[in-house]
Chains A and B, each alone.
Chain A
Amino acid sequence: ETGVTQSPTHLIKTRGQQVTLRCSSQSGHNTVSWYQQALGQGPQFIFQYYREEENGRGNFPPRFSGLQFPNYSSELNVNALELDDSALYLCASSPTGLNTGELFFGEGSRLTVL
């Protein structure tokens, strides 16, 4: 069983640029959530996707957007990058119908904005 995979693992951007991060969910999981984890902080909920629709959003501006594809993989897009966007971006998948609350995280994409 393949776990959650994310790409790229590391990237460096400059202020004002745009970035796309990708996530492949674990086999059998159709819900994907994205979290931002700044250094020394806990993960912060960005949004969740279920059946290609956004299913809840945290306190992030509209320049954070996402997509979920028919194969349940997902993208996180961030426009007009700011220095404070530097963080580890975690994707997590979970199966539907199993309301245990467990999220299966990928290893993350570490974004540095200069």
Chain B
Amino acid sequence: RKEVEQDPGPFNVPEGATVAFNCTYSNSASQSFFWYRQDCRKEPKLLMSVYSSGNEDGRFTAQLNRASQYISLLIRDSKLSDSATYLCVVGPKGNEKLTFGTGTRLTIIP
């Protein structure tokens, strides 16, 4: 079983729609959770950290369920510029030894 599992997609979603991604992780001792975004042929960049209480940043909402070892990302009112690969990332502490999922590819259609 992979340490971090994501649906690779692709997700093709019309502009303005809401889209949700899920991710599961296997190590119950994990303490750090993130969503990174990677544009085609570019480096990954932090989208947002994920906290147990859930957190929101504009159109993006992240949730963590420690009991089910499950992380989610919700994007509302999707924009063309949201087209990218979204990487679920888990680690033991801070930024040490981060484990990345394979990524979920999202394409927003005009």
Q: Which residues does A use to contact B, with CB under 8 Å? A: 31, 33, 35, 40-45, 48, 55-56, 58, 90, 94, 99-103, 105-108
Contact = CB atoms under 8 A, between A and B. Distances in A.
A42 B97 contact: no
Interface in B67-110: 87, 91, 93-103
A107 B93 CA distance: 25
A24 to B, nearest CB: 14
Contacts of B34: 101-102
A99 B91 CA distance: 12
Contacts of B94: 99-101
Interface of A is mostly: loop
Contacts of B43: 90, 105-108
A100 to B, nearest CB: 7
- Top 3 nearest A-B pairs (CB, nearest first) are A42-B100, A105-B43, A99-B94
B59 interface: no
B45 interface: yes
B49 A101 contact: yes
Nearest to B32: A101
A56 B97 contact: yes
B95 A42 contact: no
B42 A107 contact: yes
Given A42-B87, A43-B44, A107-B43, A102 B100 contact: no
